[in-house]
Structure 1
Amino acid sequence: MAEAARRLDLIDTAPAFVQADADRLNARFEGVDTAAMLGALLTTELKGRVAIVSSFGTESAVLLHMVATIDREIPLIFVNTQKMFGETLAYRDALAEHLGYTDLRVFRPDPYDLAARDRTGLRWSYDPDGCCEIRKVVPLRRALAPFDAWISGRKGFQGERRAALPRFEIDEGRLKLNPLAAWSKAELDGYFEEHRLPRHPLEAQGYLSIGCSPCTSKVHPGEDPRAGRWRGWDKTECGIHGATGDEPVF
Structure 2
Amino acid sequence: MPLKELAERRAILHRKSDPQTIVKHALDDVQLGKVAMVSSFGAESVVLLHMISQTAPDTPILFIDTEMLFPETLQYQKDVAEELGLTNVQVVKPSREKLLEQDVDGILHTIDPDACCALRKTQPLEDALEGYDAWITGRKRYQSGSRAELPVYEKSGRKIKINPLADWNAAKLVAYIEEHNLPKHPLVARGFQSLGCAPCTTKTKPGEDPRAGRWRGQDKSECGIHIVDGKVVRQRNAA
TM-score, normalised relative to structure 1? 0.89
Give the aligned partner of residue 99 of structure 1.
Answer: 84
- Aligned ranges for residues 195-214 of structure 1 at < 5 Å? 195-214=180-199
Q: C-alpha offsets along residues 165-206 of structure 1, whole Å, 9 cap, x if unaligned?
A: 000011121110000000011110110011011100000000
- Aligned ranges for residues 118-137 of structure 1 at < 5 Å? 118-137=103-122
**1:51 aligned counterpart, secondary structure:** strand
Amino acid at match of 1:99: L
Change (3 A) 1:123 1:80: same
The range that moved more, 16-25 or 120-129, is 16-25
Shift of residue 37, structure 1, vs aligned partner = 2.3
Shift of residue 45, structure 1, vs aligned partner = 2.1
State the distance in 1 between where 2:218 and 2:204 align: 15
Identity of aligned residues (%): 45
Q: C-alpha offsets along residues 100-156 of structure 1, whole Å, 9 cap, x if unaligned?
A: 111110111111111111121101012111100000000000110111010000000
State the distance in 2 between where 1:33 and 1:152 align: 15
Amino acid at match of 1:102: T
Give the aligned partner of residue 141 of structure 2.
Answer: 156
- Aligned ranges for residues 1-250 of structure 1 at < 5 Å? 18-45=3-30, 49-242=34-227, 243-244=231-232, 246=234
Structure 1 residue runs of 4 or more that deviate by more than 6 Å after TM superposition: none
Q: Is the 8 A contact 1:236 1:245 kept in 2?
A: no
Amino acid at match of 1:237: E
State the distance in 2 between where 1:219 and 1:17 align: 41
CA RMSD of aligned residues (A): 1.6
Q: Is the 8 A contact 2:32 2:133 kept in 1?
A: no
| Number of positions where the alignment pairs a residue of Structure 1 with one of Structure 2 | 233
Q: Is the 8 A contact 2:154 2:161 kept in 1?
A: yes
State the distance in 1 between where 2:51 and 2:140 align: 15
Q: C-alpha offsets along residues 38-95 of structure 1, whole Å, 9 cap, x if unaligned?
A: 2223134268710000000000000010111000011010010000000000000000
State the distance in 2 between where 1:100 and 1:123 align: 36
Change (3 A) 1:61 1:245: same
TM-score, normalised relative to structure 2? 0.93
State the distance in 2 between where 1:188 and 1:151 align: 17
State the distance in 2 between where 1:226 and 1:79 align: 19
Q: Is the 8 A contact 1:17 1:173 kept in 2?
A: no
Where in structure 2 are there 5+ consecutive unaligned residues?
A: none
State the distance in 1 between where 2:235 and 2:159 align: 17
State the distance in 2 between where 1:35 and 1:222 align: 29
Where in structure 1 are there 5+ consecutive unaligned residues?
A: 1-15
Change (3 A) 1:17 1:174: farther
State the distance in 1 between where 2:165 and 2:103 align: 34
